[in-house]
Amino acid sequence: MNSQAAYADGKGSIDVTLTPDEALALTGVEFNGNHKIKTEAQRKIRNAFEKTLDFNSGTR
């Protein structure tokens, strides 16, 4: 499953591949207290942003 987020200036996209369980976890579905699913999805999104955007630059 792919998720896309717009750049800060509204141009382009960031592609992140998530499992169906990870996508559901991000919507608030809980998996018997297994927070690893949601944590892994958040890590994937964070890594995609870090690879795409320069967070150290002053222009965002």
Q: In this predicted model, what pLDDT tens digit does every residue of 1-58 receive, in sequence order?
A: 444 444 556 567 888 999 999 999 999 999 888 889 999 999 999 999 888 876 665 5
Give the per-residue pLDDT at 8. Answer: 55
Give the per-residue pLDDT at 3. Answer: 44
Phi, psi for residue 28 in degrees, rounded to 5: 115, -5
Give the per-residue pLDDT at 1. Answer: 47
Q: Domain ranges for the chain, please list them.
A: 2-52
Question: In terms of pTM, does the model score above 0.85?
Answer: no
16: helix, strand or coil? strand
For the beta carbon of residue 17, count every other beta carbon within 10 angstroms. Answer: 10
